[in-house]
Structures are given as C-alpha cells and as structure tokens.
Amino acid sequence: MGVSERNEHKRAVRQAFNRAADSYDDAAAIQREICHALATLLDRHPPTRPVASILDAGCGTGYGLGLLAQRFPEARRVALDFAPAMLRRIPAAQPPESPHLPVCADLEALPLAPESMDAVWSSLTLQWCDPARALSEFARVLHPGAPAWLATLGPDTLWELREAFSAIDSAQHVIRFHDTSHWRQAASDAGFSVLEASTRPMYAVAPELRQLLRDIKAIGAHSVGPERRRQPLGRGAWRTLEARYEQHRRPDQLLPATYDVIFLALRKNGTQA
C-alpha cells in the first residue's frame, strides 16, 4: 500500500468511527463479548511483574478500560484511539474513581516514550493497521518482558455477507484480514515471544438482515473496506441478497454474522532491569 493510499485508508477509518461513536455502544454486543474473551486470555497469561501503566490501544468508547481497572486498579491506564469522537464517549462509561488518560493518536505512531508501558491491551483495532508497524510500536513502548494481549480479526470475518454479495456483483464488499500465521510472524519480527495464538469464531446475530447490517454500520465497520458498491441496492438486488443470506439462518431463527477472532498473548523479548 502506497503512502497516499495508506493516508486515504487512515482517513476513512477515522471518519467511519467518528460517525459511529454515538451509535456504537447500542450495537456493540459482539465487541463486548470479545473484550471478555480477551480478558480471559489475560488471566491465562498474567504479567510476571507489577503493572503500573497499561495502554488500551484502540479503546473505542472505553468498555475494555473497566475490565482492566478490575485487574489493575492501581495502574495508570492510557486510553488511546484514532477517533476523537470515541474518546469523548468514554467518561459516560467510566466511574469517576477509575481515572484514565485519553490520547488521540495513531497506533502506528504512538506518542509514548520507549519502554514506558508495563502492558498493552488491544481489542478489535489492529485489523485496521499494518501488522508490522503496529506491533513494532507496541514493542517500542513496552518494557522488556512486558505482556501484550491482543484480539484482531481473521480472513473468515463476515464470510456470510461476502458469499451473499457474490450473487449480486464482483465488488469486494467485505475487507479481507490477515490470518493467524501472518500475525505470529509479525509479532516475532517485532521482538515478541508468542505465548498463545488461537482463533475462535464469534457471532453477531439479528432476526433480520436489515438489522444485522444496521448493527455493522452502527459500529463503523461498514465503510472501511477496499471497494464498495457505488450505487444503492435496487429492490431486486436486495431480494437476492436476502435470499442468499437466508440460507444461514440458525435453528434459533437468528441470522449470524461471523467474526473470525484471532487472540494473541505476547511477551516482549528481553529481561527488565
């Protein structure tokens, strides 16, 4: 990806999540479920040293900050996000006795000093980043021996939607994400040891396709893909899309959207002095 293309991608990401800030929490049930699964990974791979500072990289509206406060009540929590509108939503979700430091910045260029963080947490943000750039920045700001707990998306994310759209046109409506092996290699290249790398399908659900798509739109992820249909769907195309997606209806009568979640527990190489 060239410089101009990367800058346009970043602009689209920021714009999409700024627009989604007000509707995000009402539609983010699957994101909260993934946060809890990431917290379970953290519990399996706890820090080996006290945590005085922790970075929530891509904190969104701040749900993960509460889970981190439960585990590290004395730690300084840096709440970093690329979208300022998301950061403005955090105070409503955080109790006053649990302060955090909001920072609006790019994960690929963290405004943090080298070896200034005792841990990094990132849930459903890295999929919008270049793996090598983001993980190199995490390694730069972490102390040697410090952990990172990460959840990102794999290539089977929203496969049902990709399949349904293939009946209408050849546009790439759903972005294709990196697989687990790519993330493992990027982590190793950045100077991390991989303690655990696993993939788990998790599901957003809705009774109707329109609601499922509204929920995807409400969290900002609908408009960040590489290529989108330029014209709205006509009535006939919509009926075709509904019919194709209906094949995935579950026994509980809900329509699923798969999130192919990659969980990584990492430790920066080296020994802290």
pLDDT at 223 over 60: no
Lowest-confidence segment of 128-137, 144-153, 227-236, 238-247 by average pLDDT: 227-236
Contact 204, 215 (CB under 8 A): yes
* pLDDT tens digits, 252-264: 999 999 999 999 9
pLDDT of residue 108: 95
CA 199 to chain centre: 14
- Give tens-digit pLDDT for 73-87: 999 999 999 888 888
Q: Encode 136-166: b = buried (16+ Cβ within 10 Å), e = exposed.
A: bbbbbbbbebbbbbbbbbbbbbbebbbebbe
pLDDT one-digit tens code per residue, 20-70 = 555 555 657 888 999 999 999 999 999 999 999 999 999 988 999 999 999
Q: 234 is written with which tokens? A: 């006509």
Better pLDDT: 230 or 139: 139
DSSP string, 74-133: TSEEEEEES-HHHHHTGGGGS-TTS--EEEE--GGG--S-TT-BSEEEEES-GGGS-HHH
122-147 pLDDT tens trace = 999 999 899 999 999 999 999 999 99
pLDDT of residue 159: 94
Write the CATH number of the domain with boundaries 3-156+176-202+260-268. 3.40.50.150
Q: Evaluate if residue 172 carries a pLDDT over 80.
A: no
On average, the pLDDT of the chain sits at 86
Q: Cα-flanking dihedrals φ and ψ of residue 88, to 5°?
A: -65, -20
Share of the chain above pLDDT 70, in %: 81
The pLDDT value recorded for residue 92 is 53
For residue 229, the model assigns a pLDDT of 46
